[in-house]
Structure 1
Amino acid sequence: MRGLLIALVVILAVLVGVDFGARWIAEDRVAVALQDALDLPNPPEVDVRGFPFLTQALDGRYDDVGLSAPGIAYGELRDLTLTADLSGVSLPLEDLVDARVERIPAERVTASARVNPTDLARLLDVGELTIEPLTADDLERLRSEAEADDSGASGSARALADVDPASSVRLTSSTTVGGQSIDVAVIASFRLSGGRITLQARDIRTEGGEGAVGQVAAQALRQRLSGFSTSVDPGRLPFAITATELRAEDGVLVVSGTARDVDLLDPPGA
């Protein structure tokens, strides 16, 4: 009896190992096909979820697949991180076995493109840039600070009066005023319109600037406020995704959308 149990455990371990090995091979072949079709600098990470894998492979249908591809260029952006969740993916087993992946139909694709701060810094022509989401409490505190500071170094309460925290961010960077490097914070509203990401600077303040020095810097910076606004075309995203949502999340701007009944190997714009 003990020998039978040991044999069953060994067989189970072998089957699990075979399942994971087959999954790895399939993910690798799909990644290579996607890299070639979408002209990506590196193979994306492909995650075929669900266990066991072999039953899905025999059926040729996968209902939960994840993709992740960092450092890709689309439109005016050069450092997008693309993530996608796929369902209803069809891929015959013989295509995987023969390494002949020419079509990957999917019933539904939900994708997000993360706009990294390095891209925004390049477009705004500023140094290192950080992006932080805003809450209603943050805005109330900023308005109070602006009202209490007559120098203007803490920004303008009037400029922040109608800012919606749900569609606004705080951008922090550095710039040069009078030959000196000044740390600045810009409150900017963002929106998605006509497929373009629009960033509108609403207020600017010096970080740590007080008194006469802060006042001079604030006056100079206010004349440059429009320089922290931009409109970005992220281009036609892969998988025929139409961008429908824009949000701030974890220090980046995220544009996302959904597509149905697409071939994952069709190039953007096809």
Structure 2
Amino acid sequence: MGKNVRVRKLLIGVVSAVAVLVVAAVGVDFGAAIYAEYRLARAIRSEARLTFDPYVGIIGFPFGNQARDRRFKQIEIRANGVDHPIAGKVSYEATLYQVGVPAQSWLINGDTELSVGKVESRIIIDSTHVGRYMGIADLLVEAPPKETNDPTGGTTESGISGNTGLVFTGTPKAAGFDKRVSVSVDLSVVGPDKTTLVFTPTGVLTGAGTADEPVPEDKNDAVLDAFRTALPGQKLPFGIAPTSEGVRGSDVIIEGIAEGVTITLDEFNQS
């Protein structure tokens, strides 16, 4: 009986020691990841001329194996409320997959060139700033009704709607109309450098899910023109060319996806 008790105590001690080592190893790994994220955020802030540290997430466990191999599975970067010379404020997002780091260091410094298997790059303009640019102070932007009502979301993998039939709702005072109306709007990106976002209204909307406000025929063209505009200077992080545009929530988003590129941190902020 006494021998069994001693064996059990020994086993409990061994298991406890192993658990402590595992917890310690996880803690070290977690701490190294946090430090690498902090260093990367500071480097992006400096190189991309930001006034704050962006959010940086190095995804995947264990971090130590990725650092040793100098290849990170996924890195997410987000900077909200960045000053923009035309839109006022924008947010930038980038998701990097299979990020290769030069052999000199497992930390990503300001001058590090990164080889990236795939980049998802986004510029985001909230409806408040779109409305200010349009001159519609109470603007609300929504996805097309067919996508809003679709249980699958009807959106891209990153949650962005299609670019046609968006619902813009607001008071077009410039048209001499003082009631909130809903207008169907299409988005497109044009220009030789594909950096001008064009808003093309196609008709007034009424019924469920809209302001349900009809517009007199003599005011129709003026109301539509109040929602018509072009927003230049929309350069995506890392200079990625746009591949789609739409909305997510009440934000207007331009997204670009590219594979097999080399980037540097100073290219994150293109404004």
Distance 1:179 1:244 in 2: 37
Could you tell me the percent identity over the aligned residues?
Answer: 23
Unaligned runs of 5+ in 1: 139-164
Structure-2 residue corresponding to 1:64: 74
Q: SS at 2:266's partner residue? A: coil
Please tell me whether residue 3 in structure 1 is matched to residue 13 in structure 2. Answer: yes
Structure-2 residue corresponding to 1:262: 262
Structure-1 residue corresponding to 2:232: 233
Task: Give the AA of the match of 2:79.
Answer: A
Please report how far the alpha carbon of residue 92 of structure 1 lies from its aligned counterpart in structure 2 after TM superposition.
5.3
State the TM-score, normalized to the length of structure 1. 0.76
Distance 1:54 1:167 in 2: 45
1:120-149 CA-partner distances (Å, limit 9, x unpaired): 1111111121111223599xxxxxxxxxxx
Please report how far the alpha carbon of residue 178 of structure 1 lies from its aligned counterpart in structure 2 after TM superposition.
11
Contact 1:192 1:244 in 2 (8 A): no
Please tell me whether residue 128 in structure 1 is matched to residue 141 in structure 2. Answer: no
Q: 1:136 to 1:92 in 2, by over 3 A?
A: closer
Distance 2:250 2:33 in 1: 33
Distance 1:167 1:33 in 2: 38
1:66-108 CA-partner distances (Å, limit 9, x unpaired): 11111124563232222221123233586466x8542141323
Please tell me whether residue 185 in structure 1 is matched to residue 182 in structure 2. Answer: yes
Please tell me whether residue 203 in structure 1 is matched to residue 211 in structure 2. Answer: no
Structure-2 residue corresponding to 1:78: 88
Please report how far the alpha carbon of residue 239 of structure 1 lies from its aligned counterpart in structure 2 after TM superposition.
1.0
Q: 1:119 to 1:180 in 2, by over 3 A?
A: closer
Contact 1:86 1:109 in 2 (8 A): yes
Q: SS at 1:42's partner residue? A: coil
Q: 1:39 to 1:166 in 2, by over 3 A?
A: closer
Structure-1 residue corresponding to 2:98: 88
Please report how far the alpha carbon of residue 171 of structure 1 lies from its aligned counterpart in structure 2 after TM superposition.
0.8
Q: 1:89 to 1:221 in 2, by over 3 A?
A: same
Task: Give the AA of the match of 2:32.
Answer: A
1:7-46 CA-partner distances (Å, limit 9, x unpaired): 0000100110111011000001001111111112321111
Q: SS at 2:28's partner residue? A: helix
Task: Give the AA of the match of 1:265.
Answer: L
Distance 2:168 2:230 in 1: 15
Q: 1:96 to 1:32 in 2, by over 3 A?
A: farther
Distance 1:236 1:208 in 2: 35
Please report how far the alpha carbon of residue 57 of structure 1 lies from its aligned counterpart in structure 2 after TM superposition.
1.1
Contact 2:70 2:106 in 1 (8 A): no
Q: 1:179 to 1:199 in 2, by over 3 A?
A: closer
Q: SS at 2:179's partner residue? A: strand
Task: Give the AA of the match of 2:43.
Answer: A
Q: In the TM superposition, what are the counterparts of 1:8-87 in structure 2 within 5 Å? A: 8-74=18-84, 76-87=86-97
Please report how far the alpha carbon of residue 118 of structure 1 lies from its aligned counterpart in structure 2 after TM superposition.
1.7
Count of residue pairs the alignment pairs up: 238
Structure-2 residue corresponding to 1:144: none
Contact 2:127 2:251 in 1 (8 A): yes
2:171 pairs, out of 165, 169, 174, with 174
Farther-moved stretch of structure 1 (18-27 vs 103-112): 103-112
Contact 1:135 1:166 in 2 (8 A): no
Contact 1:71 1:79 in 2 (8 A): yes
Distance 1:109 1:234 in 2: 20
Task: Give the AA of the match of 2:239.
Answer: A
1:209-241 CA-partner distances (Å, limit 9, x unpaired): 57xxx74xx644643421210111243322121
Distance 1:224 1:180 in 2: 7
Distance 1:197 1:36 in 2: 28
